Every structure is written in structure tokens, then in C-alpha cells.
Amino acid sequence: MNRRKQAIVTCSVLGVMGVVLALFGILLSVGTSVVIAQDEPPSNDDSFCVVCHTSTTQETYTLEDGTSVSVAVDLEVLAASVHGTSNPDGALACADCHGENKFPHDDPPAAGIREYRINQSNACISCHEEQSQNLADDVHYTALADGNLRAATCVDCHGAHNITPPDEPRSKISTTCGTCHKIIFDQYESSVHGEALFEGDPNVPTCIDCHGVHSIQHPTTALFRNRSPELCATCHADEDMMRQYDISTNVFDSYLTDFHGETVALFAQQDPNVASNKAVCYDCHGVHDIARADAENSHVIRENLLDTCQGCHPGATADFPASWVGHFPPTLESHPFLFVVNTFYQILLPVVLGGFAFLVLTDIYRRIRNARKQG
Ligand code: HEC
Ligand code: HEC
Ligand code: HEC
Ligand code: HEC
Ligand code: HEC
Ligand code: HEC
Ligand code: HEC
Ligand code: HEC
Ligand code: HEC
């Protein structure tokens, strides 16, 4: 073979090899994309996830602090949740909450179970804007921002795969709060409000009627205190509601006209953020342990009332509570002296004022008549 021939042969061999290589390259890329396509189902296809996340899988997810969580998922529970088959927008897919479908999961493991749950709660925010909007000044979310990881997130109050309507039955609302606020819940459960709630009463307050839900404010501020009589009044001044229980609605008006209420009402209007030391409803009745006014454990029953007053009037003696008329207008039996004085004034005032008016009117009449006569 001469050099020319040799060069042609080498070139064609190289060319063939190039073509073969190129073909192999194309095949390879097609091949891998076929493989990838198998691993990456169209989004919203849960079948890919549930191959591994069955309800019986023994696999666990191990967190940085060593705790491990089962990765079993019960599809029936998910389907029965508010995001399942009954959802008006159609059942949610795994990816709606967990993001892009991909395996292996390459996110670094969370530091601990609280960090994991708080992080997962962010998935709720994208769809539930209304509930998320007020969170900026919510007690739980400010506590979380301050590093208190025990504070409640969406998932603590609602669950994750098992979310059901949060207010069915209505008592579930208070039970939810009670999972963390145990001591308060126990008091509340046996209070006049709590007891009725668990008997199915639709009118008594749950935790959120007094505190709010997604924008809970600190209840120990001056603002909350000054406005609290209005809060109790939303129900206790409601004639239609209170008639059903034979409870007086005069409690609010009588409070406003007494020496405690007048000042608090003024503060609430003019300086809502300035603390007032005058009694509000719950100083006398208690907060989470409010009882029927005539119950043995009531803070306002005669036997306990002095203690209640002494909380602020340390020098008060046994007859001190009588200095306050209570919510009811004095009667001849309850406060004879006051009743007599009141009645006396009720008669005296109209008589005196009426007399004056009569004198003034007759005087005007006489003057006009005289003027006419002279004119
Ligand atoms: C091949 C099996 C397999 C497939 C397919 C799979 N997973 Fe997983 N998944 C696991 C295993 C194993 C773990 C636990 C350890 C880990 O993270 O690798 C896990 C952990 C998780 C976790 C908890 C840890 C984390 O990163 O939040 C979630 C959530 C999760 N998977 C969701 C999904 C979703 C959604 C899909 C469908 C897109 C899916 N998985 C597909 C096996 C799988
Ligand atoms: C409504 C949103 C939502 C949907 C839909 C959803 N998840 Fe989850 N998932 C969550 C949340 C929130 C958590 C965190 C739960 C926690 O902290 O206990 C979670 C946790 C997990 C975990 C970790 C183990 C555990 O129980 O904490 C796995 C695995 C998982 N989900 C898989 C799936 C799979 C598979 C699907 C689809 C079949 C799915 N999820 C659908 C919200 C969702
Ligand atoms: C992809 C959007 C989407 C995501 C993500 C999502 N939800 Fe929903 N959620 C809905 C839709 C749609 C409904 C049904 C319509 C409605 O009632 O607002 C619903 C209903 C609810 C309800 C019942 C509302 C009612 O009136 O009874 C609750 C509670 C709820 N979601 C909480 C959550 C929580 C907690 C998370 C996070 C774990 C979450 N959602 C994640 C879309 C979503
Ligand atoms: C401290 C407990 C708590 C937290 C935290 C919480 N919720 Fe709620 N949520 C409730 C309760 C209780 C209700 C029932 C309210 C009612 O019946 O008036 C509710 C109601 C809802 C509803 C039904 C519609 C409505 O507004 O009444 C949705 C949707 C919802 N929450 C989503 C969320 C999302 C998303 C988050 C997180 C960003 C969240 N919630 C955080 C306790 C909570
Ligand atoms: C997951 C546990 C958890 C759940 C559920 C929960 N909370 Fe809380 N809550 C906390 C923690 C933790 C704090 C912060 C306490 C602190 O700052 O010292 C807090 C703070 C509060 C505060 C402010 C207390 C203060 O001292 O100023 C109120 C009010 C409150 N929660 C009411 C509720 C209500 C109402 C519900 C139910 C709708 C509820 N919480 C559900 C854990 C929870
Ligand atoms: C009738 C209204 C009412 C109801 C119902 C109610 N609270 Fe309160 N809560 C208050 C008031 C008022 C305060 C402030 C008390 C104070 O300043 O001493 C308060 C204080 C709190 C505090 C702060 C306690 C502290 O000392 O820092 C928490 C937490 C709380 N409530 C949780 C709950 C929970 C949980 C429920 C339901 C089980 C509930 N509340 C039911 C009115 C209510
Ligand atoms: C959401 C409505 C609602 C709110 C808010 C509310 N209550 Fe009540 N309250 C009721 C109802 C309804 C009853 C009757 C329950 C029954 O007798 O079964 C009741 C009963 C009572 C009783 C017992 C009356 C008796 O002697 O029979 C007292 C005391 C009381 N509430 C005080 C308060 C105080 C103080 C507040 C404010 C801190 C308050 N309530 C806030 C609805 C409310
Ligand atoms: C200075 C203490 C004190 C304050 C403040 C106070 N109460 Fe009372 N409350 C009592 C006493 C004592 C009774 C028992 C009946 C009586 O003597 O009037 C009572 C009785 C009641 C009753 C039962 C009425 C009935 O028909 O049997 C209700 C309801 C009530 N209070 C609600 C309130 C509300 C709401 C407020 C605030 C607007 C309030 N109270 C403020 C001391 C107080
Ligand atoms: C939360 C604290 C608090 C509670 C509880 C309380 N008071 Fe008062 N009360 C005050 C304050 C503050 C004044 C105003 C004192 C002043 O201006 O010198 C006042 C004023 C009075 C006055 C007007 C006469 C005076 O000393 O100025 C009477 C009467 C009175 N209280 C009776 C009662 C009775 C009766 C009770 C119990 C049923 C009671 N108080 C419970 C804080 C309270």
C-alpha cells in the first residue's frame, strides 16, 4: 500500500469510527433520557411516590438529631381528609405539598422533628393565603421567630395527611389548643363555658372566641384588658342569647356605671394602651375557671367574694363587699338603705325639677302677657 492509499484507509476508518461514536452518543443520550423518563413521572402522578410510601413500609427517615420517623403513608386517610376526594378543587397530589417529584430525595435531613414540621408547614402557606396573612403578629408565629420551637404551626393545629374540618364538632377547637395549653384547658373544661361546650352548646365561647385563631394577640397587655368587658358583652349583653339561660343582661350596663367600669371604659376609648388597675369582669369572675354566679366554686359567691375584693383592696373587711351593689338594681331585700335612698331620689327629683319647670313656664307666660298689655 502506498502512503496515499494508507491515508485514505485511515481516514475512512476514523470516519466510520466517528459515525459509530456519534450514533452511540445519540443512542446513549436517548437511552438515559428513557431511563430518566421512567424515574420522573408527569407531575401530579402519585403512583411514583406510593410505590415506596406504602402504609406498611418499614423505611424510616432519620433526622440529624438521631430521631427517626416512619415514612409510611396511609392513602385512605389522605383521601378522607379535606384535601382528598371531597376537595372542591380535586384531590391534592403529593407534589402539591412536597414540591417537585424527584427521587432520590436529596434535601439534607432536618435538624430535629420540630424543625421538620415547621418547615413542612410552609407548604400550606402557598394555597391558604388568608390564614397566612395575619401570622406576622400572631403569638405563636412571633414565638417561633424568637426561637421558641414549641409554638404552634399549621400542622400542629390541623394535622398533615389527616386534616379534617377544624370546627367539627365545635369542641374540637378547644381540644386542639388544649394539646399544648394543658393546665388552662383543664380549668376551662370544668368552667361554666367549657362544661356547656362539651355538652354541645353552640353559644358558649371556645378558646378562639376570646383569643382569635390565626392572629392571636397577647392577652396580658393593657389593650386586651381594657377591651375585655366588651368581649364578654358580645354575648352577655345579647338579650336573645341570654334569655335562653335566664341570665341577666344588665351585667354590662351595671358594670359600666359602677366605679370600676366607668374608668375602664374611659381608658378603652381614650388610652387603650395604658394599664388600668380597676377591676374588669375577669378580676371578679376568674378567666378560664368562670363558674355560675351561685356555684360553690364561684369567685363571686358571698363566701368567696371578700377574697376576690381583697386581691385589690387588701384592707377590706367582712362588710366591704356590701359596699358594691352588684349587677342588679338595689331592692328592698338586698340593699334596703340604698333602695330607700334611690326611691326617695326617684320621687324627689321629678317633683323638684317638675316644680321648677312649672314656675319658669308660668313666669314666661306672665311676662309675655304683661308685655302685650303694655304694648
Ligand atoms: C424508591 C423509593 C421512594 C420513592 C419512589 C419515593 N420515596 Fe420518599 N422516601 C423514601 C425513603 C427511603 C425515605 C426516607 C429516607 C430518605 O429521605 O431517603 C423517603 C422520605 C420521604 C419524605 C420525608 C423526608 C423528606 O425529605 O421530607 C417525604 C416527604 C417523601 N419521601 C415524599 C415522597 C414523595 C412526594 C415522593 C413522590 C414524588 C416520594 N417520596 C418517592 C423512598 C421513596
Ligand atoms: C396537604 C399537604 C400534603 C399532602 C397532599 C401530602 N403530604 Fe406528606 N406531609 C405533609 C406534611 C405537612 C408533613 C409533615 C408531617 C409532620 O410533621 O408530622 C408530611 C409528611 C410526609 C412524610 C414524612 C413522614 C411523616 O409522616 O412525617 C412522608 C413520607 C410523606 N409526607 C409522603 C407523602 C406522600 C407519598 C403523599 C402523596 C400520596 C403526601 N405525603 C401527600 C403534607 C402533605
Ligand atoms: C395546593 C393547594 C393546597 C395546599 C398546599 C394546602 N391546601 Fe388546604 N385546602 C386547599 C383547598 C382547595 C381546600 C378546600 C377548599 C377550602 O375549603 O378552602 C383546602 C381545605 C383546607 C382546610 C379545610 C377548610 C374548611 O373550611 O374546613 C384546612 C383546615 C386546610 N386546607 C389546611 C391546610 C394545611 C394545614 C395545609 C398544609 C399542611 C394545607 N391546607 C395545604 C388547598 C390546599
Ligand atoms: C393555634 C392553632 C392553629 C394554627 C397555628 C393554625 N390554625 Fe387554621 N384553624 C384553627 C382553628 C381552631 C380553626 C377553626 C376556626 C373556626 O372555626 O372559626 C382554623 C381554621 C382554618 C381554616 C378554615 C377556614 C377558616 O379560616 O376558618 C383553614 C383553611 C386553616 N385554618 C388553615 C391554616 C393554615 C394554612 C395555617 C398555617 C399558616 C393555620 N391554619 C394555622 C387553628 C389553627
Ligand atoms: C403545638 C403547641 C400549641 C398549640 C396547639 C397551641 N399553642 Fe398557644 N402557645 C404555644 C406556645 C409554645 C406559646 C408561647 C408561650 C410563650 O411565649 O411563653 C403559646 C402562646 C399562646 C398565647 C400567648 C400566651 C402569652 O403568655 O402571652 C395564647 C393566648 C395562646 N397560645 C393561645 C392558643 C390558642 C387559643 C390555641 C388554639 C387555637 C393554641 N394556643 C394552640 C403552644 C401551642
Ligand atoms: C371567656 C374568654 C376566654 C376563653 C374562653 C379562654 N380564654 Fe384564655 N384568656 C382570657 C383572658 C381574659 C386572658 C388574660 C388573663 C390575664 O390577664 O390574667 C387569657 C389568658 C390566656 C393565656 C395567657 C396566660 C398567661 O398567664 O400568660 C393563654 C395561653 C390562654 N388564655 C389560652 C387559652 C386557651 C387554650 C383556652 C381554651 C382552652 C382559653 N384561653 C379560653 C380569656 C379567655
Ligand atoms: C361567645 C359568648 C360568650 C362570651 C364571649 C362570654 N360568655 Fe359567659 N356565658 C355564655 C353563655 C352562653 C353562658 C351560659 C352557659 C350555661 O348556663 O350553660 C355563659 C355563662 C356565664 C356565667 C355564669 C352565669 C350564671 O350565673 O349562670 C358567667 C359568670 C359568665 N358567663 C361570665 C363571662 C365573662 C366574665 C366573660 C368574659 C371574660 C364571658 N362570660 C364571655 C356566653 C359567653
Ligand atoms: C366587682 C366584681 C364584679 C365585676 C367587675 C363584674 N362582676 Fe359579674 N358578678 C359579680 C357578683 C358578686 C355577682 C353575683 C350577683 C350579684 O351580686 O350581682 C355577679 C354576677 C354575674 C352574672 C350572673 C348574672 C345572673 O343573671 O345570675 C354574670 C353573667 C356576670 N356577673 C357577668 C359579668 C360581666 C360580663 C362583667 C363585666 C362586664 C362582670 N360580671 C363584672 C361580681 C362582679
Ligand atoms: C382588679 C382590682 C380590683 C378588684 C378585684 C376590686 N376592685 Fe374595687 N376598686 C379598684 C380600684 C383600683 C378602685 C379605685 C380606688 C381609688 O380610686 O382609690 C376601686 C374602687 C372601689 C370602690 C370605690 C370606693 C373606693 O375605695 O375608692 C368600691 C366601693 C369598690 N372598689 C368595691 C369593690 C368590691 C366590693 C370588690 C369585690 C367584689 C372590688 N372592689 C374588687 C380595684 C379593684
Give pLDDT tens digits along the chain (375 positions): 455 555 454 445 444 444 444 444 343 333 333 333 344 444 567 888 999 999 999 999 999 999 999 999 999 999 999 999 999 889 999 999 998 777 888 888 999 999 999 999 999 998 999 888 878 789 999 999 999 999 999 999 999 999 999 999 999 999 999 999 999 999 999 999 999 999 999 999 999 999 999 999 999 999 999 999 999 999 999 999 999 999 999 999 989 888 888 888 888 888 888 888 899 999 999 999 999 999 999 999 988 999 999 999 999 998 888 877 778 766 777 677 767 777 777 787 888 888 889 999 999 999 999 999 887
Q: How many CA atoms lie within 13 A of 334 on its CB side?
A: 12
Alpha-carbon distance of 14 to 20, in angstroms, equals 10
Answer yes or no: are the C-beta atoms of 233 and 278 closer than 8 Å: no
The CA radius of gyration of the chain, in Å to the nearest whole number, is 38
Q: Which of 100, 122, 163 to mutate to test the pocket of ligand 3 (most atoms within 8 A of CB)?
A: 163
Looking at all shown ligands, the one closest to residue 284's CA atom is 8
Q: For residue 119, how far is its CA from the centre of ligand 3 (angstroms)?
A: 17
Looking at all shown ligands, the one closest to residue 199's CA atom is 7
- Residue having the nearest C-alpha atom to atom 12 of ligand 4: 173
Residue 337's pLDDT is 72
Query: Residues lining ligand 1, CB < 6 A?
Result: 48-49, 51-53, 59, 61, 71, 94, 98, 101, 103, 105, 107
Positive or negative CA dihedral for 48, 54, 59, 64?
positive
69 lines ligand 2 (CB under 6 A): yes
Residue 34's pLDDT is 34
Q: Which of 113, 120, 148, 180 to mutate to test the pocket of ligand 5 (most atoms within 8 A of CB)?
A: 180
Q: For residue 160, how far is its CA from the centre of ligand 2 (angstroms)?
A: 6
Burial zone of 325 (CB within 10 Å; 0-12 exposed, 13-18 middle, 19+ buried): middle
Q: For residue 263, how far is its CA from the centre of ligand 7 (angstroms)?
A: 23
String of b and e for 48-61 (b: at least 16 CB within 10 Å)? bbeeebeeeeeeee
Ligand 1 atom index nearest CA of 99: 35
The candidate with the shortest Cα–Cα distance to 135, out of 98, 107, 100, 144, is 144
Q: Which residues contact 35 (CB under 8 A, 6 or more apart)?
A: none
Burial zone of 370 (CB within 10 Å; 0-12 exposed, 13-18 middle, 19+ buried): exposed
Q: Cell for 370?
A: 304683661
CA angle 83, 85, 89 (to 5 degrees): 65
